Each structure stands twice: as structure tokens, then as C-alpha cells.
Amino acid sequence: MSKDVIKNIIVKDDEDYIINMGPQHPSTHGVLRLEVCLNGEIVKYVIPHIGYIHRGIEKMCEADTYKQIIHLTDRMDYLSAHMNNEAVCLAVENALQVEVPERVQYIRAILDELNRLASHQLWWSAFGMDLGALTTFFYGLRDREKILAIFEESFGSRLLHSFNTPGGLMHDVHPNFQKHILEFVKYFRKKLPDYKNLLTDNVIFHNRTKGVGVMSPETAIAFGVTGPSGRGSGFACDVRKVAPYGVYDQLDFKQVLYSEGDSFARYQVRMDEMEESLNLLEQLVAKMPSEGDFTAKMKPIIKLPEGEYYERVETARGELGVFIVSKGEKYPYRMRFRSPNFSNLFVLNTLSKGLKIADLVAISGSLDLVLPDIDR
């Protein structure tokens, strides 16, 4: 391990030509403000300014019961709402040593993968838009619609379903749940080559992403860049493998790793993860018990024993950590979310330094940022 310390270097000058990208800007995917210093077209430094959608979720959690908190976590990373729910549920269940029925664990894993797929589809759509290929948006959303229909059928909501509850699920899934998932897997397998033809194999796309924003594994680890962005640099950080939760240790899947570390590698990781998720879905549906409880027996008022609990799950964007300090009451004393996007955002300056302003857009697109998750 080298002793070189990776730093976030910003050298300011009085004569800097500053452009404020955002808070309303087409490519910042939300209310992110990037203070970009330019030298002609070349980026000298980027300072992200956040907090435009800070809702104080951590403060709100201190006055909410654990069941109520679930509904707040949806609103952080709204594209991996289910994983956020699951993180809190796992933390509570592990603290209380509750045995969750096997069927629930399988359903949760299925929802994880469906949510991951939906999130990656939306990312693919938006990434193409960032690079100027406007058609990707419609292709991605067309296929995402099928997943949202599955969600709607079982939970009545499409984006923020708050379907988890400590100990299990709110209610049982729709009888057609498995059937529709298998149909979707078959459908999406056929559609994935479209994605490849439209964007992956495009020579302009290669020029725009290959060798752009190269992140070394050391940089990824030092900045805590996790998820597909980190795995594009060869940082093996998939929590599903590193610290398996739920049924992930019983499943056969591989951690997608690329070593190039450029925007194209980050793109490839997500594309491969989509295929991996499809495989996982097939395994999960095949193994899922068709009968059983949808929740464990829980007390009506959940009180965590005094102590500190930390639980990690893999969302579509990286490692989500839930840290609870409990004093034995029905409210958490301190609740903290380690959001993956927060760490992923701040690597932007290091990656885009010395590149063109168009590369900055490509890099921020390839990091797949979701702003409400950063601000919380």
C-alpha cells in the first residue's frame, strides 16, 4: 500500500472564470450546484455546493418510530427506495434478533434486484441524454415501465413503495408476482441488445467515455466511491458479496469488476449488472417458497435495546449504511444514513480536472448521482 495520500486539490485564483452549473441545470440531475472554474473549455476545478434539498431526515428520524422512519428513507435515494427501506429493516431486525421468514427474504431480494434494474435503466436513459443521445431516454423508460407495473400490481405504488416493515412486509405480494417477473426477464433479455446497438457500440460514445475521468482504485477507496462507480475502478465493494445480507449468500452471482476506471468502465459495470440482476431474478423466483408468512411476529411498539447498530446494504449506487444509536426508547436517539452518493459526488473534482466541460457532464453522468440522497 503506497503512502501517497490522495487529496482533493482546489487552487483558487482571483481571476478565475467561474460558471455556476445549477442548481437548475439539465445535466446535474437535480438541485446540485457545481461551481466550475474554466480556462476556455478546460475545467480547472469543480466545487459542488449541496443542500438545496436538505430536509433534515436525520433530525426527523429522532422524533419518529422505526416504522415511520421507513417512509422517510424512501425519499432519500428515490430510485432505490426498496434498498433504503431494507437497510433500516435489517438494522432493526438484527438489533432485536428477529428471525425473518424465508419467503420475506426472497421477496426482498427480488425487489432489490428489480429496483436495481429500474434504477440502472433510468441511469442509462439519463446518461445518454447527458451525452446528447436523446433517444436513449425513451428506450430506457419504456422498459422501466414494465418493472413499475410489477411494483404497482403488488404494492399499489410505483416509485416509493415503503413495502418493507421491520420484521417483514406490509402485506403479501400479488399472486401473479412471480409470473410477471419471469415475463419481464424474458422481455428485457430481448431488449438489452437494443441498448447495445444504440449506445454501447457507438463510436462517438466510445470517444466520449473511454479514458475520460479515470479513477484509480486508490482514489476510489480514499474517496469512498462505492457501487458500480467504484467497481469500475476495480474496487471490490459489493456489499452483497463483502458482507452478505438476506439470501445473497445462497445465490450464484458474480461481482462485476472492471479495472479501467474510466467512464466507459463505469458504464460497462452497470450494463453487466443489469444482466446479472436478470440472472438473479430467475434464481430467486425459482427458489422462492410459494407459501409462508409475509412477516415475522413483531411487537406493536418496537423498542431497540440500548446500543449502537450499523447496517450496510448495497443500493443501486453503492453502499448505504444505517447507523442507529438507541437508548432503549421507541425513537432512535441518533439516526445516521451513510449515503453512497454523498461520497461519490466529491470525487468529481479529482476526476474532471484538466478535462473539457463536456467531459465533466459525462463524468457526473457516469457517477449516477441522485441529489436527495446526498442532501438527505
Partner 1 sequence: MENTELMELITKVIPYGTVSQGSQYPEVIVPAGKLHDAAEQLRNLEGQPFDYLINMTAADFTDKFTVYYHMESTQAHNLVVLKADIADRDNAVVETVSDIWVTAEFFEREVFDLFGIRFKNHPDLRRLFLEDDYGFPLRKDFKDEVNIIELPN
Partner 2 sequence: MILDIYSFSTLTGAIDKGLNSAMAPWLATLLEFVIVGVVFLIFYALLGLFLVYLERKVCAVIQNRIGPNRVGKWGLLQTIADLIKLLMKELIPIKNADGFLFNLAPFIVIIASFMAIAALPFAKGLQAMDFNIGIFYVMAVSSLGVIGILLAGWSSNSKYSLIGAMRSGAQIISYELSVGLSLLSIVILSGSMQLSTIVQSQADGWWIFKGHILAFISFVIFLIASTAETNRGPFDLAEAESELTAGFHTEYSGIKFAFFFLAEYMNMFIVAAIGATLFLGGWMPLHIGHWQEFNNIMDYIPSVVWFFGKTFFVIYLIMWFKWTFPRLRIDQLLNLEWKYLLPLSLINTVLIAFIALMGWYF
Positions in the binding site for partner 1 (CB under 8 A):
1, 5-8, 10, 50-51, 54, 56, 58-59, 63, 94-95, 221-224, 235-237, 242-243, 307-310, 312, 319, 321, 323, 325, 333-334, 336, 338, 342-343, 346, 375
- DSSP conformation class of 226: -
**What is the torsional sign of CA 183, 265, 43, 33?**
positive
Q: Residue 37's beta-bridge partner residues?
A: 18, 45
What phi, psi does 106 have (nearest 5°)? -70, -40
For residues 125 and 127, give the distance between their C-alpha atoms in angstroms, rounded to a whole number: 6
* Number of shown-chain residues binding partner 2 (CB under 8 A): 32
We find the least distance from the C-beta atom of residue 368 to partner 2, in angstroms, to be 15
Report the partner that residue 192 touches, choosing among partner 1, partner 2, none (CB closer than 5 to 8 A by kind). none
- Spatial CA neighbour of 78 closest among 339, 277, 332: 339
Report the partner that residue 334 touches, choosing among partner 2, partner 1, none (CB closer than 5 to 8 A by kind). partner 1
Residue 137 or 253 having the CB closest to partner 1: 253
Residue 296 grid cell: 415475522
- Spatial CA neighbour of 172 closest among 301, 298, 290: 290
We find the least distance from the C-beta atom of residue 98 to partner 1, in angstroms, to be 15
Q: Applying CB under 8 A, does 199 fall inside the site for partner 2?
A: yes
Residue 10 or 285 having the CB closest to partner 1: 10
Residue 338 or 356 having the CB closest to partner 1: 338
For residues 332 and 355, give the distance between their C-alpha atoms in angstroms, rounded to a whole number: 45
Report the partner that residue 357 touches, choosing among partner 1, partner 2, none (CB closer than 5 to 8 A by kind). partner 2
Binder of partner 2 out of 8, 39, 135, 259 (CB under 8 A)? 135
Q: Which range in 130-138, 225-233, 285-293, 296-304 contacts partner 2 by CB under 8 A?
A: 130-138
Q: Applying CB under 8 A, does 368 fall inside the site for partner 2?
A: no
3-state percent breakdown (helix, strand, coil) of the chain, nearest 5: 50, 15, 40
We find the least distance from the C-beta atom of residue 45 to partner 1, in angstroms, to be 12
What phi, psi does 76 have (nearest 5°)? -80, -80
Per DSSP, the three-state class of 39 is: strand
Report the partner that residue 124 touches, choosing among partner 1, partner 2, none (CB closer than 5 to 8 A by kind). none
Number of neighbouring beta carbons within 10 Å of residue 312: 18
For residues 125 and 48, give the distance between their C-alpha atoms in angstroms, rounded to a whole number: 23
Site residues for partner 2 per CB under 8 A: 17, 19, 25-27, 38, 41, 128-135, 137-139, 142, 198-199, 202, 204-205, 207-208, 356-361
